[in-house]
C-alpha cells in the first residue's frame, strides 16, 4: 500500500491572523513575506521527496499565496492538493465567487481539497446546504483526473461542550469520534465519495478503527489522512502512531507542527536556506514516525 504524506500549507486566514498577527489587509511587504513562506515550504518538500519514495509526498497549498509554486512542485514529481473553499468560514463557501473550477483549470492539482465544519447535531439546514455544495463539486469532478480530498472538522455544539464541562480535551476523547462517524455516514449517504478524508487525530485505536470503517464502508478505495490541528509535537506523534496502526488510515496531512517554528525564525530575519532545511527535517521526522508505527 502506498502511503500519502501531505505537507499542509493551505493556510490563509490563520496565516494572516495567527502567524502574521494582522488586524487589517496585509501590506505589499507583508504579502511578500507570506508568499516567500509558502515558497520555503514548497522547496522543503521538493528536497524531502526523494527520501519519501516509493510513498507519495503531497504539497497542500493555496492559490492565493502559493499558486506560483505549484508548477515547480509538479515538475519535481510531487502531487499537489489545492483548497477551493473560502478560508475561515463556518459554512462551506467556494472561492472565485462560487466557481472553484477556475482554480482547478488554472493549476490542475491532483487533489481538490475542501474543508467542511460539520457537526451532525448542528443546524440541519446548514448541513444540508453544505452537502449540496459538496455534491455540486463532486458532480463537476466526475470523469476528471482531479480527485476530491475532504477535510472534515467536527466542532462541538455548545450543549455538547457543556456536557463535558466545557473541556475540549474531554470532548475529543469522549464525543468527537461518534460524531465523526455519523458525519461520515451522512455525507457518504448523500452520494459523496472523496478519495481521501482528512480526519482530526483519533484518541484511541478503537476510535480510529470506527472512523476508518465508516469511510471504507462508503468507498472501499478511500483512505484517511490524520491531520495535525496545529498541535504540539507530542500530540501529533500520538495521533500518527494510532492512525498508522489502523487499517484504512493511509498517511497524514500535517502543517503548522512542521513549519511554524522554522518560518517564525525566517520571518524574524533568519536565513532562508536554514528554514528550508528545518522544515525538510521535521517533515521527514514525521514520515519516519508514521512508517515506524505502521
The CA-based angle 226-10-236, given to 5 degrees, is 30
Which pLDDT does position 231 carry in this prediction?
A: 86
Q: How many other CB atoms sit within 10 Å of the CB of residue 4?
A: 22
In this structure, the strands spanning 196-199 and 147-153 are: parallel
Sequence-separated (6 or more) residues with CB below 8 Å from residue 112: 81, 82, 84, 100, 104, 137, 141, 146, 147, 148, 149
Question: Can you tell me the distance from the alpha carbon of 15 to that of 41, in angstroms, rounded to the nearest whole number?
Answer: 14
Q: Range of 214's domain?
A: 4-293
How many alpha carbons fall within 13 Å on the CB side of residue 191? 10
Predicted TM-score (pTM) of the model is 0.95
Residue-wise burial string across 200-231, b where 16 or more C-beta atoms lie within 10 A, e elsewhere: bbbbeeebbbbbbebbeebeeebbbbbbbbeb
Which pLDDT does position 230 carry in this prediction?
A: 87
CB 7 within 8 A of CB 54: no
Count of domains in the chain? 1
Residue pointed to by grid coordinates 480527485? 147
Q: Render each residue's pLDDT in the chain as its tens digit; 294 residues.
A: 799 999 999 999 999 999 999 999 999 999 999 999 999 999 999 999 999 999 999 999 999 999 999 999 999 999 999 999 999 899 999 999 999 999 999 999 999 999 999 999 999 999 999 999 999 999 999 999 999 999 999 999 999 999 999 999 999 999 999 999 999 999 999 889 999 999 999 999 999 999 999 999 989 999 999 999 888 999 999 999 999 999 999 999 999 999 999 999 999 999 999 999 999 999 999 999 999 998
Q: Could you say which DSSP state residue 24 is in?
A: S
Nearest to 73 by CA among 103, 39, 104: 39
CB 178 within 8 A of CB 211: no
Find the CATH number of the domain harbouring 26: 3.20.20.70
Question: Can you tell me the distance from the alpha carbon of 294 to that of 289, in angstroms, rounded to the nearest whole number?
Answer: 9
**CA–CA distances in Å: residue 83 to residues 172, 217, 257:** 25, 26, 19
Amino acid at each position: 500500500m502506498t502511503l500519502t504524506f501531505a505537507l499542509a500549507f493551505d493556510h490563509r486566514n490563520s496565516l494572516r491572523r495567527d502567524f502574521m498577527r494582522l488586524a487589517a489587509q496585509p501590506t505589499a511587504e507583508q504579502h511578500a513575506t507570506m508568499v516567500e513562506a509558502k515558497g520555503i515550504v514548497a522547496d522543503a518538500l521538493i528536497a524531502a521527496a526523494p527520501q519519501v519514495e516509493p510513498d507519495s509526498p503531497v504539497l497542500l497549498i493555496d492559490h492565493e499565496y502559493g499558486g506560483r509554486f505549484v508548477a515547480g512542485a509538479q515538475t519535481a514529481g510531487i502531487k499537489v492538493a489545492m483548497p477551493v473553499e473560502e478560508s475561515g468560514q463556518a459554512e462551506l463557501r467556494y472561492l472565485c465567487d462560487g466557481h472553484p473550477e477556475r482554480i482547478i483549470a488554472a493549476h490542475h492539482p491532483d487533489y481538490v481539497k475542501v474543508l467542511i465544519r460539520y457537526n451532525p447535531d448542528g443546524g440541519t439546514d446548514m448541513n444540508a446546504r453544505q452537502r449540496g455544495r459538496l455534491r455540486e463539486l463532486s458532480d463537476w469532478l466526475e470523469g476528471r483526473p482531479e480527485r476530491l480530498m475532504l477535510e472534515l472538522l467536527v466542532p462541538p455544539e455548545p450543549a455538547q461542550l457543556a456536557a463535558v464541562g466545557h473541556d475540549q480535551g474531554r470532548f475529543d476523547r469522549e464525543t468527537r469520534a461518534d460524531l465523526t462517524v455519523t458525519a461520515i455516514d451522512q455525507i457518504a449517504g448523500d452520494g459523496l465519495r472523496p478519495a481521501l478524508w482528512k480526519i482530526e487525530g483519533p484518541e484511541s485505536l478503537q476510535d480510529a478503527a470506527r472512523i476508518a470503517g465508516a469511510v471504507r464502508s462508503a468507498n472501499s478505495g478511500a483512505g484517511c489522512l490524520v491531520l495535525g490541528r496545529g498541535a504540539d509535537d507530542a500530540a501529533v506523534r500520538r495521533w500518527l502512531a494510532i492512525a498508522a496502526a489502523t487499517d484504512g488510515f493511509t498517511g497524514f496531512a500535517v502543517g503548522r507542527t512542521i513549519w511554524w517554528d522554522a518560518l517564525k525564525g525566517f520571518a524574524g530575519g533568519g536565513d532562508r536556506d536554514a528554514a528550508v532545511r528545518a522544515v525538510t527535517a521535521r517533515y521527514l521526522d514525521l514520515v519516519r514516525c508514521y512508517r515506524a508505527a505502521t
